[in-house]
Structure 1
Amino acid sequence: MSFSPVLALYRGATATLGLFAGAYLDSRARRGKEDPARLGERFGRYARARPAGPLVWLHGASVGESGVALQLIEALAARDASLCFLLTTGTRTSADLVARRAPPRTTHVYAPLDRSDCVRRFLTHWRPDLGVFVESELWPNLILEAQAAGVKLALVNARMSPKTLARWRGWRAAGERLTRAFSVATAADARTSDTLSALRGVSTPALGNLKLAAPAPRVDARARAGLAAQIGARPLWLAASTHAGEDAIVLQAHEILRQSFPDPLLIIVPRHPERGPDISQLAGGAPMRSRSETLAGPCYVADTMGEMGLFYDLAPVALVAGSLAPHLKGHNPVEPAKLNAAIVTGPYVESFQDLFDALFAAGGARKVTDAASLAAAVADLLRDDARRVAQIARAREVADQGAGALDETVRQLATLLPARATPKAADASA
């Protein structure tokens, strides 16, 4: 393979800048972005021993990738009960998700810093039989050190933005070196498939997005019944996963709706629950779920974790936020599609462009650009039951297309596993 100046520069830079990693992580911990009790994991040091037997390691960035990884774990475990699993992620929210949903024989640790010594300690301790990278978390040292250690590698559900794909094409030698480290690679969409095929020199199939295979989020029936009783017959819509700057647009749209609907209710679920008090203040002191306040008034702030399914299930119409400003790139529309909420989105959905393109083509989602068009779309869907039901049905058809992609991905991963690995004894951390 050709020499890559970009990779050489990267590896040198991480070795040098890595000297300041401790101070950087301490700063993040003070801001709540790292778990101070588990900072050692970032350096490849672990309190838990490696489980005996064949170990499949899966790596993803955050919550979305963790959900895909958990699906793969469940499917692989059903296929081979001898397997154990290690899931590495980079965020506290993903760690919380895994803690709630991890199947048996699954260990979660934070991903090591992409510094060669940290990565080597990680690999020495866990000694995985297979490494599965989910979507776009292509950390060079992690990939190259795993390959050097003899770990079979796979890249699944690869899904990159046009900007990221252009960067890899521009850094061709680096792209070839990294992507050819994967024995198996599958893409979520055609644009990623085309670029990976060119870089790897072999066909990279576009199986479809594994996030479509995700089950509908859990809905607490008791909590739903309690909220539904409070809502009664009020016209309801949801703004899901809002970011700073979007709440003002959403509230302006709701003011427009209040001029033509009797006592409509807006529920805002912020992407980051710690923003709840700021949103409440912006909405004139709206009640907050984190404070167990009664659902009353024109707006309710649902600033809790793990309840998105509950609110999608309640709402007949949902704005999938993270899409109303150019610096945002959209959020996953599969959850509302599977819980029968009519989908409305802003124009900035780059991270999920393939899913939204399919939804738009099928008539399963509506696009808006500002408060006025958002209010008009919500009003239309709330007034016209037949139109809303038809849009929901079309979105559900798109969302139900992921099962085949999951089955084929699991089949390909199984080809990289040892037929029956000899159980490996646990090992102490370096």
Structure 2
Amino acid sequence: MNPYHFAYNFFAFGLSLIVLPAIWCHEKKDPERKAALTQRLGYDFHPQHPVTPGRPRIWIHAVSVGEVKAAEAIVNALNTSCIKASILLTTTTMTGQRYARRRFAGRATVRYAPVDLWGATRRFLYAHRPDLLVCMETEIWPNWIANAQGAGIKTMFINGRISDRSIRSYMKIRRLMKPVLEKVDAFSMISEADARRIIRLGAPAHRVQINGNVKMDAPDLDRDDAVVQDLKRLYAVDENSPVFVAGSIRGAEADILMAVYDQLARQIPGLVFILAPRHLNRSSRIVDIASAKGIEWQYRTQLGEAGAARSAPLVILDTIGELRDVYSIASVVFCGASLVPLGGQNVLEAAVWSKPILYGPSMEDFEEARTLLETLGGGICVKDGTELVDRAVHLLLHPDEARRLGRLAKRAVLSNQGAARRHARVVAEILPNLG
């Protein structure tokens, strides 16, 4: 253990002595949160009865819902290649955990990931005994990687990306990161820019590959017309209804988007406005604004109760994992975390459904996807709420133009298919070397 890793553990252990008791006292009141914290500390009382027994055992870490979807594409690609493995899938967030349990029911053991403390990590590895650790995107946790190497477990990053914003932070701790990255067996990165950044941070160049973005290659790329028709009935819309969907809204965007709704509602007769906050606890802020303005609204969970369809012009999406399908009924889509400096969201989830896509200037975390859309003409960047209104009004009043842009957006997705197979091939190449 080098001095920087020792200092990292010394600081982390000291902080845990202060923070963890308070967290435990708070979380123990909620059985679900208590179980999650127990697992995060490396204690698992049912590790000997995995859903999918056998070897090789692959531990895939996916932070939240988006990464779980990408992990599913990788697992499906492995299965298509007739590579059978026992899958242990971990998440960090509670929303990701719930989504993973639904999507991987009967196919994988789903757990919370351990915190990056030396003891917690060692307990987790001893309980589950994986042969390979696969981190989706770029989750660099020094103790995971060091303990995995010490236990003879191979490690790799899949669908790896490092934004320009992230690399500036990582470079401040490069002396810690470089020895950690030298222990990793393979880096399967999204783009050339991501590859350059991970090498700059300390990854051995000969272990780095470029294989595209799995999120452009989702398993549900083909339209499911039954899902679309069900959503149309639920939201009481048809092919001619003007539907604006704002997805993954974060921070101050709640206020901006409610002002956008005011403007659009005045200019677009019959507008249906679907607002999906990135974090469900932000729903109350949207409700407060709508109520103060006298805007009629409904939660998505209120639709379908006793057969009821939508009646309010504003619907707040308060479900997990449904946004991607809701994009299917949109006339125009706005992707959030982009009018505020939060790096953007995955614009290609809407492009799958041939929708014209608007987004703000902060797209640092999805720069490759933005460039791809703009190169083919399927995406439009707006600088603020005023320009968002102008662009949305134009597209809602000119549906033929909206459909043309949507086709270009779908073309962008199709031009980048195959990423899941390429990343899965990197996993397959390392499997014969396990054990």
1:414 match: secondary structure: helix
- Percent identity (aligned): 28
Deviation at 1:342, TM superposition (A): 1.2
Matches within 5 A, 1:4-83: 5-20=3-18, 22-26=20-24, 29=27, 35-48=33-46, 49=48, 50=50, 51-80=53-82, 82-83=84-85
Deviation at 1:179, TM superposition (A): 1.4
Residue 94 (1) aligns with residue 96 (2) = yes
Q: 1:215 aligns with which of 201, 216, 219?
A: 219
Q: 2:271 aligns with which of 261, 264, 271?
A: 264
Structure 2 unaligned spans of 5+: none
**Equivalents in 2 of 1:382, 1:224: separation in Å?**
20
**Equivalents in 2 of 1:152, 1:245: separation in Å?**
42
Residue 308 (1) aligns with residue 319 (2) = no
**Equivalents in 1 of 2:119, 2:90: separation in Å?**
17
**Equivalents in 1 of 2:250, 2:299: separation in Å?**
17
The aligned counterpart of 2:120 is 118
**Equivalents in 2 of 1:241, 1:364: separation in Å?**
19
Q: 1:383 aligns with which of 397, 400, 422?
A: 397
Higher relative contact order (CA 8 A, sep 6+): 1
* CA RMSD of superposed structures (Å): 2.6
The aligned counterpart of 1:406 is 420
Matches within 5 A, 1:265-304: 265-283=272-290, 284=294, 285-292=296-303, 294-304=309-319
The aligned counterpart of 2:362 is 348
The aligned counterpart of 1:357 is 371
1:287 match: secondary structure: strand
Deviation at 1:281, TM superposition (A): 3.0
**Equivalents in 2 of 1:368, 1:31: separation in Å?**
45
TM-score when scaled to structure 1?
A: 0.89
**Equivalents in 1 of 2:120, 2:254: separation in Å?**
40
The aligned counterpart of 2:169 is 167
The one-letter amino acid of 2:330's match is A
8 Å Cα contact 1:42-1:118 kept in structure 2:
yes
Q: What do the CA deviations read for 1:38-71 (whole angstroms, capped 9, x no partner)?
A: 3221121113215333201111222221211122
**Equivalents in 2 of 1:31, 1:286: separation in Å?**
33
Structure 1 unaligned spans of 5+: 422-430
Q: 1:333 aligns with which of 347, 372, 378?
A: 347
1:196 to 1:234, Cα distance in 2 relative to 1, 3 A? closer
**Equivalents in 2 of 1:18, 1:228: separation in Å?**
47
Q: Would you identify which runs of 4 or more consecutive aligned residues in structure 1 move more than 4 Å? A: 30-34, 230-233
1:343 to 1:7, Cα distance in 2 relative to 1, 3 A? same
Deviation at 1:146, TM superposition (A): 0.6
1:262 match: secondary structure: coil
**Equivalents in 1 of 2:43, 2:319: separation in Å?**
32
The one-letter amino acid of 2:316's match is V
The aligned counterpart of 2:337 is 322
The aligned counterpart of 1:240 is 247
2:297 match: secondary structure: coil
2:4 match: secondary structure: helix
1:291 to 1:278, Cα distance in 2 relative to 1, 3 A? farther
Residue 416 (1) aligns with residue 430 (2) = yes
1:105 to 1:298, Cα distance in 2 relative to 1, 3 A? closer
Deviation at 1:137, TM superposition (A): 0.9
1:336 to 1:411, Cα distance in 2 relative to 1, 3 A? same
**Equivalents in 2 of 1:301, 1:407: separation in Å?**
36
The one-letter amino acid of 1:125's match is A
